[in-house]
A and B are shown apart, each in its own frame.
Chain A
Amino acid sequence: MHQDVHAFAGPYVLGAVSAAEQRAFVRHLARCSTCAAETAGLQETASRLATATAAAPPARMRVTVLAQIGGVRQVPPPRRAVHTRPSRRRTRLRRVGLPGLTSDRPRSIALRAPRVLTALTAGGAVACVAVSVVAGVSAERSQDQYARALAQERALTSVISAPDARTVTASASGGGTATVVVSRARGQIVFASAGFPRLPESKAYALWLIGPTSTRPAGLVRPDAAGRIPPLVAGDLNDADRVGVTVEPSGGSPRPTTAPVLALPIT
């Protein structure tokens, strides 16, 4: 039975199902996150079957279409997405993300998981910031920002829920703590922090990926008015074995110019 539903992903993305079957499968996707992820990937694949057929349309079509849209009003953005997303996302992160965080010693998983949860949520770090990124945006900000926040959230989730994701936490010398989720498979980290001292306008915290042969800039972050720093996805890791943080001019520096406030091993 289950096998049967799974197999529907093929006909569904190929547009080869009836309207009723389509509705049923969409309902199923809402309940099965594995199926939803697979289906999204297959949908992108089917899209490649489409791009391979590209052909130049008659030139008059452009004029006709551009003239037509002048008289067509756009649908309003779906409200439900704005209101329901934060809580739904939170659930998904808890359910999907946290069991994915693995430990070197399987025995300690049960003990570590709650600690990770605390580190991530209480510290204003990954899990709850991922939610607040979206929640904050949902209030007033532009659709661009909303979209960017969603994309960022998706990037965060993919690192946090990677099968090989590991979490390391450390205190910074100037105060505050940093939590880094590392996925070698993804080649990325999520950097989240709490309690870092505020900085003057002209300065920012710079993140560095440090390896045996290179130190590469991996992003700039600044605490907001409430002292929170949004989480940052950085990569490619390559041979980096440490994550460092320095205070730099707000425009960034090609290499560290001050003593690190933090150097966290990520091997």
Chain B
Amino acid sequence: MWGRRQPAVLPASPRPLGDLDVLLLRVARDDDAAFEELYDEVAGVVYGLIRRVLRDPAQSEEVAQEVLVEVWRTAPRFDPARGGAMAWITTMAHRRAVDRVRSAQAATDREERAARHAAEIPHDEVAEQVVDRLERERVRRCLERLTAPQRESVTLAYYGGHTYREVAELLKIPLGTVKTRMRDGLIRLRDCLGVRAV
């Protein structure tokens, strides 16, 4: 009619939510079978992140359990218009881990934690799957494209659980500089990873 004959394709539907978003929305309707599926999708990320920040496996397991139960409890508050399910869950996990670090550890531990986490890139897990490994590689490559000070600021904060004030103190740089490095570093990381705007 308007052009050459086309192969049979079904009409496109409006842009769908991601699989994980849909799963979490099902969980939000008191669906425990959906939660079981969700658990299998995200437990590794939740546990891995918390362990990354806390280091201690027993404590990490405890906090990861709390977070996953909290995901179940507060799932009805998830609003896909404001961001994806994975970001919603990892934000919650990160917050819990950081709360634990900040309440449990005295300020004197900071230097030690800083030494362990400085500019370190995650690679140390045993039971990693192929998908995990690819994602890890991708993130690692993109982290390497940051300037060293940007990378240091981002990883000290995110993996080390330090506030930007602590990072400024540790690196002996002004507060304004550390904030800017974190934002610029994340922007570069975002562009490198091809993260789409929400």
Please give the residue numbers on chain A whose beta carbons come within 8 Å of chain B beta carbons, in ascending order. Answer: 4, 6-11, 13-18, 37, 40-58, 61-62, 64-66, 68-70, 72-78, 81, 142-144, 147-148, 150-155, 158, 206-208, 210-220, 232-235, 242, 244, 246, 252, 254-256, 259-260, 263
B164 touches A218 (CB 8 A): no
Residue of B11, B80, B126, B176 touching A206 (CB-CB under 8 A): B11
Question: Chain B contact residues (Cβ within 8 angstroms of A): what range?
Answer: 35 or more
A207 (CB) vs chain B CBs: closest residue: B11
Residues 76-95 of B contacting A (Cβ, < 8 Å): 76-77, 79-84, 86-87, 90-91, 93-95
- Chain A to chain B contacts (Cβ below 8 Å), 19 pairs: A10-B182, A41-B197, A42-B183, A44-B83, A44-B196, A47-B86, A47-B90, A53-B159, A54-B128, A55-B51, A74-B74, A143-B76, A151-B14, A158-B197, A215-B3, A218-B12, A254-B6, A255-B6, A259-B1
A8 touches B9 (CB 8 A): no
Q: Find B163's partner among A16, A58, A147 (CB 8 Å cutoff).
A: A16
State which of A17, A65, A242 has its C-beta within 8 Å of the C-beta of B65: A65
Other-chain contact of A52, B6, B21, B65, B139 (Cβ < 8 Å)? B139
Interface residues of B in 119-146 (CB under 8 A from A): 122, 125-129, 132, 135-136, 138-140
**Chain A CB within 10 A, most for which of B36, B158, B161:** B158
> Which residues of chain A are near B29, meaning CB under 8 Å?
142-144
Judging by beta carbons under 8 Å apart, are B64 and A57 in contact?
yes
- Asked whether any CB of chain A lies closer than 8 Å to the CB of B173, the reply is no
How far, in Å, is A97 (CB) from chain B's closest CB? 15
Q: Complex Cα distance A47/B189, Å? A: 11
What is the distance, in angstroms, from A182's C-beta to the closest C-beta of chain B? 16
Q: Give CA–CA (A197, B145) in the complex, Å.
A: 56
**Closest CB of chain A to B9's CB: distance in Å?**
6
Say if the beta carbon of B15 comes within 8 Å of chain A: yes
Question: Which residue on A lies nearest to B183, using beta carbons?
Answer: A10
Bound Cα distance from A73 to B70, whole angstroms: 10
Q: Is the CB of B61 within 8 A of A61?
A: yes
A-B contact count (CB 8 A): 301
A37, A46, A217, A256 interface centre (most CB from chain B within 10 Å): A46
Indicate if the CB atoms of B179 and A217 lie closer than 8 Å: no
9 A-B pairs with least C-beta separation: A10-B182, A10-B183, A254-B8, A55-B48, A57-B47, A52-B139, A56-B127, A50-B90, A40-B198
- Select B44's contact among A45, A55, A151, A216, beta carbons within 8 Å: A55
Q: Is the CB of B158 within 8 A of A15?
A: yes
**Is B52 in the interface zone, CB < 8 Å from A?**
yes
B75 at the A interface (CB under 8 A): yes
Instruction: Known A-B contacts: A40-B198, A55-B48. Give 7 more (CB < 8 A).
Output: A18-B163, A43-B91, A55-B44, A61-B43, A68-B65, A75-B73, A233-B15
Residues of B within 8 A of A (CB): 1-17, 21-22, 25-26, 28-30, 32, 35-36, 39-40, 43-49, 51-52, 61, 64-65, 68-69, 72-77, 79-84, 86-87, 90-91, 93-95, 98, 122, 125-129, 132, 135-136, 138-140, 154, 157-159, 161-164, 166-167, 176, 178-187, 189-190, 193, 195-198
| Contact indicator B6/A42 (Cβ below 8 Å) | no
Q: Which residues of B contact A10 (CB under 8 A)?
A: 154, 164, 179-186
The answer to whether B14 and A47 have CB atoms under 8 Å apart is: no
> Per a CB cutoff under 8 Å, which of B14, B73, B82, B129 touches A232?
B14
Residues of B within 8 A of A153 (CB): 81
- Given A214-B4, A254-B7: A49 and B158 interface contact (C-beta under 8 Å): yes
Q: Which of A53, A57, A64, A207 has the most CB of B within 10 A?
A: A53
Nearest-Cβ distance from residue A220 to partner chain B, whole angstroms: 5
Q: Is the CB of B9 within 8 A of A217?
A: yes
